[in-house]
Amino acid sequence: MRPDRRAYILVATWGLLYGGLIALDVLWGRGVIDSSVGPVVDISYYRYRTQGILDGLWLYRDIPCESPPLIVYLMIPAQLANGGNLAYQIWFSIFVLLTSLTIYWGLRRFDDKRALFAAFMFIWVPVGAVETVGGIQDESIMIWLFVLSIVLAALSRWRQSVFVMAVGAWTKVINVFLYPFIWHEVKDRHERWMHLGVIATVSLFVAIPYLIVCPIDFLKFPLYYFFSSSDVGPTGGTSFWDFLEMGGLVLPSWLFLILTISTLVGAYLFAFHRRMTLLEGMLVVLTAFVIVYSRSAAGYFMLPISLLLIWGAEDRLISTLCMLLYVPLIASAFFSDSTPSGVPYLDVTWGWIAGALLQLTTLIMLFCAMRLALKKKNFVDRAIARRSAGGGGS
């Protein structure tokens, strides 16, 4: 089958699944969700920030914001399309399709059928589908930029990868996790300086207007990522740590900062010591980050899952774990106090224990999937190794 026809299969699959989910949400699901668990909170922030920009206001100075600026600008098309739930659901869903097509078109040169399978499975991952449509979450934008930068790096298109990574970092800071591996892979000093130049250029292009208009307010937003924001606690979402805090274990922000940084450094050193490939190393770093990060959201699990599916194209157990880990993850949310009312949907005295155990189950499933993946090379790394052994480029 021709590659373009395989791509049409992905588009059709995405249209049927996400179109069906959105239709179900509009006709029935949204009313049930709003009446039973309350309206989605985050979309009100999306509307407030994007409409503020359209009205001529400035992020950080006029509009409180703890995120990098580009994520807000990338949501403006949804706000222009009336800014309703449907507009944002469709907009965020488009990035799921873009990610799937990026996986297929980027990796098909290594193995067409396996690349198609990985791209196909990405569309069906429950974490992505439910969080994008039901939760109306913006993580799909970050994940597309993240996957695109990794695919470009796997193709040895280093400068393009660094450019996308830099844009991604000003969308969600987590995208910068890729760069240590690019630095490690690229030995040429001139090329390394070129990469730093690309990062600096993108950063200056994004930051200079804010540094001119509202430098103090702009420079405060990174405090969120260092757990130093006075408006937000060190835990959040439905993380394992959030449930421990519900149970009375309140840890200081600096401890979470040290834990996150030391874990990431350890993950990088482990990957470099074991001489892992870029895909293997990124899988280790992302899995470690999701496990220890105290503000991890459900959508963050799509970061390691997007890589695990490359192995999952040949290992059904890995694919199965990627699909099933959403069950304990979503179940834990019913015991969380991160709700519009601040009260868990299942408000029982032992709720924090149940939530913590369900979260721990999710993290163990993710860790087991990573362990299975690291036991053998994926089809991309095998193809790159064969071409390198044969003297060809990748």
Segment 181-226, tens digit of pLDDT = 999 999 999 999 999 999 999 999 999 999 999 999 998 887 776 6
Dihedral of the alpha carbons of 117, 78, 214, 197, in degrees to the nearest 10: 30
Instruction: Give residue 180's Cα distance to chain centre.
Output: 18
Mean pLDDT within 170-174: 92
Lowest mean pLDDT among 27-36, 185-194, 268-277: 27-36
pLDDT in tens, 323-378: 999 999 999 988 988 777 778 888 898 999 999 999 999 999 999 999 999 999 99
Cβ 93 vs Cβ 249: under 8 Å: no
Residue 3 lies in a domain: no
Residue 175 lies in a domain: no
**Do residues 180 and 172 touch, judged by C-beta distance below 8 A?**
no
Tell me what pLDDT residue 264 has.
Answer: 96
Residue 271 in any domain: the answer is: yes
Position 393 confidence tier, pLDDT thresholds 50, 70, 90 = very low
> Which residues neighbour 137 within 8 Å (Cβ) at sequence distance 6 or greater?
42, 92, 131, 297, 298, 299
Cα separation, 296 vs 362, in Å, equals 12
Residues facing 63 on adjacent strands: 59
* Distance in angstroms between the alpha carbons of the first and the last residue of the chain: 23
Range of the domain at 273: 229-384
| Whole-number Å distance between alpha carbons of 179 and 282 | 10
CB burial class (10 A; 0-12, 13-18, 19+) of residue 252? Answer: exposed
Distances 27 to 24, 30, 32, 230, 346 between C-alpha atoms, Å: 5, 8, 10, 40, 26
pLDDT at 347: 85
Longest Cα separation, the chain: 63
Rounded percentage of the chain residues whose pLDDT exceeds 90: 76
Closest CA to 307 of 274, 276, 335, 330: 276
Q: How many structural domains comprise the chain? A: 1
43 domain residue, yes or no: no
Above pLDDT 70, what percent of the chain?
96
Q: How far apart are CA 272 and CA 266, in angstroms?
A: 10
In a domain, 279, yes or no: yes
Does the structure show a pLDDT above 90 at 4?
no
Q: What is the pTM of this model?
A: 0.92
Residues 302, 304, 310, 311, CA torsion sign = negative
What confidence tens digit (pLDDT) does each residue in 59-110 have?
999 999 989 999 999 999 999 999 999 999 999 999 999 999 999 999 999 9
DSSP secondary structure of 357-382: HHHHHHHHHHHHHHHHHTTS--HHHH
Residue 146 within a domain: no
pLDDT, one tens digit per residue, over 232-267 is: 555 566 788 889 888 988 888 888 889 999 999 999
Q: What DSSP letter does each residue of 65-111 carry, written as one string?
A: --S-HHHHHTTHHHHHTTT-HHHHHHHHHHHHHHHHHHHHHHHTTT-
Predicted confidence at residue 3, as pLDDT, reads 85
Identify whether 180 is part of a domain: no
pLDDT of residue 233: 57
- At 35, the pLDDT band (50, 70, 90 cuts) reads confident
Residue 334 in any domain: the answer is yes
Cα distances (Å, whole numbers) of residue 312 to 21, 154, 156, 307: 25, 17, 23, 9
Task: Report yes or no: 99 and 8 within 8 Å, Cβ to Cβ.
Answer: no
- The mean of the pLDDT values for the chain is 91
Buried b (16+ CB within 10 A) or exposed e, 158-177: beebbbbbbbbbbbbbbbeb
Strongest mean pLDDT among 1-10, 212-221, 271-280: 271-280
